Amino acid sequence: MTIRMLMVVIAVLAAGKVQAQEGAKPPPFDPGSYPLEVQKALHYANDECAAQGGGEVAFAPDTVRKLDLTGDGRDDYIVDFHDTVCADRAVACGTGGCIMDILVTLPGGQARRVFDGYVRNYEILPGKGPRTIRFELHGGFCGGHGNPSCFKEKRITAKPFEFKMPQ
């Protein structure tokens, strides 16, 4: 195979890869496809955007994660505003991170918010049954300052929880 033919093959393969990636884009974010309590949590971004002078809220495709956090076989929800923007600026974020809500689905089918707070990042730890989440928080939650971050773990159940800064 000549060098010219090899370059053509590489170019064709690269173009096919780009088209495949473009074809794999997630569907547009649809807040109406979630339960009412999740929609209420999402509405916070609209209220915050209006308070900042208005504009259209743009949700990232992964703003809401649907997964079983309590180990009961029902879908639960994490609403994470990290990549949510209002008129090209971040909404619901500060030095402590961005607003994150965790909603669990109860036996009757209604969702209950069990966490609402600022989170820099989070990781769902492996395991079975109720899942444990490792939260990266503002350093003040461990008695420090903004940096370094504070890490706290919480097993997710239907019981609401919050993180408090020490006095």
- 89-127 pLDDT per residue, tens: 778 888 899 999 999 999 999 999 999 999 999 999 999
Indicate whether this model's pTM tops 0.85: no
In a domain, 26, yes or no: no
In a domain, 52, yes or no: yes
* Domain encompassing residue 59: 33-155
**Alpha-carbon distances, residue 70 vs 33, 130, 139, 143, 157 (angstroms):** 21, 4, 27, 29, 5
Q: What is the pLDDT of residue 22?
A: 52
In a domain, 6, yes or no: no
**Average pLDDT score over the chain:** 85
Could you tell me if 106 and 91 are in contact, meaning their C-beta atoms sit under 8 angstroms apart? no
Total number of domains constituting the chain: 1
pLDDT confidence of 3, banded at 50, 70, 90? low
Average pLDDT of the segment spanning 36-41: 93
pLDDT confidence of 12, banded at 50, 70, 90? very low
In a domain, 56, yes or no: yes
In a domain, 23, yes or no: no
